[in-house]
């Protein structure tokens, strides 16, 4: 048991080290080599733009059910007008970034791992290197830029749709008075909440793209390996997102104390 825990810890630390090296190489490549903007733009369209529908739908349904649940509780105390502000805070601070990241990990992370993994086992990665092109410059950097640009925007989109859906549930459907609802919503939602959503989105983007590219580049064992890479990418990045979210929630609460 103890040795099993020890071994798992060691494996996790090794993995973290490998991710750290990849991330370090990626950041230094962003400065040392010319950035391939065309590829980055292509990735923004492929990964960011095409994820909008799934992210918007996720945000909307989350906002809708969340507003309904808050209403069921708060209505008993006559605090109907607080539904909007509570939903908005929860969306910006927790649900929006986390759920968006989990959806994007499933959609984009898996695709990155499968694509790079296929290139690895079919020697396309070696072919790139044989022409003097670094796979970091050509594959990892454009995907990283695309994710870092797209994720905060996708998070914002999820939150916006969530807030809209919670409004539609609360005001027209459940009959909460509109004026106090909107007043509370704008009064209690601060710039700091939006900052938290953006920062979390950015950090989760780094996690998703690093884990997925790493899984892709480390793929071996032919088709079976390519089959495993996306699964591992999704599982590992999802767990990392949830863990990092907890850390960020506490860390960001120090920087942006709640309610200020």
Residue whose tokens read 């796979």: 135
**Taking CB under 8 A as the rule, does residue 32 contact other proteins?**
yes
By CB under 8 A, name the one of 2, 3, 78, 132 that touches other proteins: 132
**Taking CB under 8 A as the rule, does residue 130 contact other proteins?**
yes
Closest residue by Cα to residue 180 from 89, 85, 81: 81
**Taking CB under 8 A as the rule, does residue 3 contact other proteins?**
no
- Identity of the residue, 50 or 75, whose beta carbon is nearer to other proteins in the bound complex: 50
By CB under 8 A, name the one of 35, 57, 65, 133 that touches other proteins: 133
User: Does residue 138 contact residue 258 with C-beta atoms inside 8 Å?
Assistant: no
By CB under 8 A, name the one of 65, 134, 164, 202 that touches other proteins: 134
CA angle 124, 111, 213 (to 5 degrees): 60
- Closest contact distance (angstroms) between CB of 31 and other proteins is 13
Q: Give the burial class of 175: count Cβ atoms within 10 A of its Cβ; 0-12 exposed, 13-18 middle, 19 or more buried.
A: exposed
Which DSSP string do the residues of 25-49 spell out, in sequence order? HHHHHHHHS---HHHHHHHIIIIIG
Number of residues assigned to the chain = 260
Structure tokens at 79: 């605090």
User: Does residue 237 contact residue 129 with C-beta atoms inside 8 Å?
Assistant: no
Q: Which residues of 61-77 are buried (b: 16+ CB within 10 A; e: fewer)?
A: ebbbebbbebbeebeee
**Taking CB under 8 A as the rule, does residue 126 contact other proteins?**
yes
**Taking CB under 8 A as the rule, does residue 21 contact other proteins?**
no
Closest residue by Cα to residue 125 from 141, 114, 136: 136
- Closest contact distance (angstroms) between CB of 134 and other proteins is 6
Residue whose tokens read 């605090």: 79
Instruction: Report residue 200: phi and psi, to 5°.
Output: -60, -45
Under rule CB under 8 A, how many of the chain's residues touch other proteins?
Answer: 14
**Taking CB under 8 A as the rule, does residue 129 contact other proteins?**
yes
- Closest contact distance (angstroms) between CB of 130 and other proteins is 5
**Taking CB under 8 A as the rule, does residue 123 contact other proteins?**
yes
**Taking CB under 8 A as the rule, does residue 34 contact other proteins?**
no
**Taking CB under 8 A as the rule, does residue 131 contact other proteins?**
yes
- Identity of the residue, 7 or 129, whose beta carbon is nearer to other proteins in the bound complex: 129
**Taking CB under 8 A as the rule, does residue 260 contact other proteins?**
no
- Identity of the residue, 14 or 122, whose beta carbon is nearer to other proteins in the bound complex: 122
Lay out the site mask for other proteins across 102-121 (x = CB under 8 A, - = otherwise). Answer: ----------------xx--
Applying CB under 8 A, which residues contact other proteins? 32, 118-119, 122-124, 126-127, 129-134
């Amino acid at each position: 048991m103890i040795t099993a825990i020890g071994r798992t810890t060691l494996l996790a630390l090794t993995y973290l080290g490998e991710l750290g090296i990849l991330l370090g190489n990626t950041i230094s490549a962003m400065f040392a080599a010319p950035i391939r903007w065309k590829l980055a733009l292509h990735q923004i369209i492929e990964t960011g733009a095409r994820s909008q529908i799934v992210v918007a739908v996720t945000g909307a349904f989350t906002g809708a059910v969340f507003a309904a649940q808050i209403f069921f509780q708060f209505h008993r105390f006559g605090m109907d007008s607080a539904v909007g502000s509570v939903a908005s805070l929860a969306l910006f601070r927790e649900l929006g970034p986390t759920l968006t990241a989990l959806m994007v990990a499933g959609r984009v992370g898996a695709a990155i791992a499968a694509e790079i993994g296929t290139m690895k086992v079919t020697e396309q990665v070696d072919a790139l290197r044989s022409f003097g092109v670094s796979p970091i410059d050509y594959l990892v950097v454009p995907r990283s830029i695309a994710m870092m640009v797209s994720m905060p925007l996708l998070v914002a989109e999820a939150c916006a749709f969530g807030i809209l859906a919670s409004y539609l549930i609360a005001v027209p459907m459940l009959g909460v008075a509109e004026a106090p609802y909107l007043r509370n919503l704008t009064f209690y939602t601060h710039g700091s909440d939006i900052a938290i959503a953006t920062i979390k989105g950015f950090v989760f983007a780094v996690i998703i793209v690093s884990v997925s590219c790493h899984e892709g580049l480390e793929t071996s064992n032919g088709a079976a390996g390519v089959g495993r890479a996306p699964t591992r990418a999704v599982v590992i990045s999802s767990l990392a997102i949830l863990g990092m979210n907890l850390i960020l929630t506490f860390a960001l609460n120090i920087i942006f104390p709640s309610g200020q």
